[in-house]
Structure 1
Amino acid sequence: MSTSKLSPVFIEAEHIPLAGGGLHYYPQYIAEPDPLYEQLRENIPWQQPILDIYGRRHLTPRLVAFVGDSGLSYRYSGHRHYADVWPPEVLALRERIAEDTGYDFNCALLNYYRNGDDSMGYHSDDEASLGGDPCVASLSLGCGRDFLMKPKGLKTRSRKIHLASGSLLLMLPPTQRHWQHALPARKGLAQGRINITFRKVVLSLAD
């Protein structure tokens, strides 16, 4: 895929303020997202880990892959994952996002939601290995899906953001400290979605 197709469309980011955090949303960050979606869907070595939840084993309700700098590992959802080599297109995106936002990343977690039955429950990207106040950049490809956010420990209505194909959502520090996010199931949806979340591991902690 040519680099030009990965270049952003320079549309000013929408700033979404949050109490104890904030988001920058670029609705059309990638000029032509569909070819990248198809290429990643076909070529990434997707996995479906088994999770232990309250003593019961469940398949992760989506497919995942972890890529990053050589020798990097990252523990999430109860498992330690060792980074596969950067796909060239994802590496180009990392470099472009760093140039545009000023935030550098050394790894990316990819999630493939095969249809509306695949989902992600409420959580924060606040693992100790990401440091005290990480920035997370989330790129969406494929079918648009609703992204929910709610403050930790408060019974308030979730905020909903529709993440379009080709969009970039930058979750600024200290959002992960105070907010949780989720991607709920959407029954009857047949189209797939790939999400690339760029992160910076600052400390590879042992199991």
Structure 2
Amino acid sequence: MQALLFEPNVQRIADETTGPITYQPGVIAPDLAASWFAALLQGVDWHESSRMMYERMVGVPRLHGHYAADDPSLPKVLGAALGIAKAQFRAPFNSIGLNFYRDEHDSVAPHNDKLHELVPHQPIVLLSLGATRTMVIRRKTPPHLKTELELEAGSLLLMGWNAQLNYDHGIPKLRYPVGPRISVAFRVRPGWSEDGW
């Protein structure tokens, strides 16, 4: 089965000065993306979590999972996806985070990744599987430019390390029904070894 489509269309959201941020739809063939979604839906140990907000504990509106890239229990699908991400972007990704958006009520608030948890100047790459969801990318400084990006199944979104300084990104709740989506995030974390942190 063909994993990669030829000559993916690259959309540039931000340049090297403030990013980069690029979006590539159709990197993973539709049939393969659908099979990966099904495998991860059943094969990942999904967790719920809570966080303090407005002086009370609230549930995080999505499920999540995590693997080190060298984890012996890494699902085969994630190993294949990791290989594609490394080949596409030439980065030594060692951490794989997953978010499961069950429906239109699940979301993630606008945020940027914490720079102390990332190796400087290494990118973050997001693989989308399942239903299309809108990501809102907003520049932090005036003129606060905003992009609403439709993240399709089989697409890859690259955010440069520098982009975390200049942009917030989030997945808003929706007012209409939408199917489930899985986001797979490849990062380069500092201090990782074969045994983790």
Superposition TM-score, scaled by structure 1 size: 0.83
In the TM superposition, what is the alpha-carbon distance from 1:102 to its structure 2 partner? Answer: 1.0
In the TM superposition, what is the alpha-carbon distance from 1:65 to its structure 2 partner? Answer: 0.3
Taking every aligned residue pair, what percent have the same amino acid on both sides? 25
State which of 10, 15, 19 in structure 1 corresponds to 2:12.
15
State the alpha-carbon separation in 2 of the partners of residues 178 and 60 from structure 1: 25
Unaligned runs of 5+ in 1: 71-82
Q: Does the CA contact (< 8 Å) of 1:134 and 1:176 recur in 2?
A: no
SS in 2 for 1:35: helix
**Partner amino acid for 1:22?**
P
Partner of 2:35: 35
State the alpha-carbon separation in 1 of the partners of residues 22 and 178 from structure 2: 29
SS in 1 for 2:159: strand
**Partner amino acid for 1:35?**
S
**Partner amino acid for 2:105?**
D
State the alpha-carbon separation in 2 of the partners of residues 62 and 154 from structure 1: 31
Unaligned runs of 5+ in 2: 193-197
Q: Does the CA contact (< 8 Å) of 1:69 and 1:85 recur in 2?
A: no
SS in 1 for 2:34: helix
SS in 1 for 2:175: coil
Q: Does the CA contact (< 8 Å) of 1:67 and 1:84 recur in 2?
A: no
In the TM superposition, what is the alpha-carbon distance from 1:155 to its structure 2 partner? Answer: 6.6
State which of 168, 171, 187 in structure 1 corresponds to 2:156.
168
State the alpha-carbon separation in 2 of the partners of residues 133 and 68 from structure 1: 20
Tell me, yes or no, if structure 1 residue 147 matches structure 2 residue 139: no
**Partner amino acid for 2:18?**
G
- Specify whether residues 51 and 154 from structure 1 end up closer, same or farther in structure 2 by C-alpha distance, changes over 3 A only: farther
CA RMSD of aligned residues (A): 2.0
Aligned length: 188
